[in-house]
Amino acid sequence: MACPEGVVRVVAYMDEELVQQIDKISEEAGISRSRLVAACIEGGLEDLRFLRFIGLAPRRLARVGTALDKLGLMPSKNKHLDNPVIRRKERE
């Protein structure tokens, strides 16, 4: 399939569970998986630009990620942290 003019094809390998989540959200939003992923990447880049603007360089963010990982707070390792209902019950 040819890409539209001014668009570049990018390939990313993801866990099946992540793709299922993306598909569910894109279906709910009525947009394609590709459009949702592109919007998420664009939003993430905007966040990074803001963090750089306020003085948090990517290397500092990596240190924050490492610290969160050591504390066991990274969402990828503790998927229950992504669930607000479970988080609320844990606080009670």
* Residue range(s) occupied by CATH 1.10.1220 in the chain: 10-55
Q: What is the pTM of this model?
A: 0.61
CA-to-CA separations, 59 to 49, 79, 87, in angstroms, rounded:
14, 25, 29
CATH number of 10-55: 1.10.1220
For residue 86, the surrounding DSSP H or E stretch is helix 84-91
pLDDT in tens, 30-65: 999 999 999 999 998 998 888 888 887 777 777 777
pLDDT of residue 19: 93
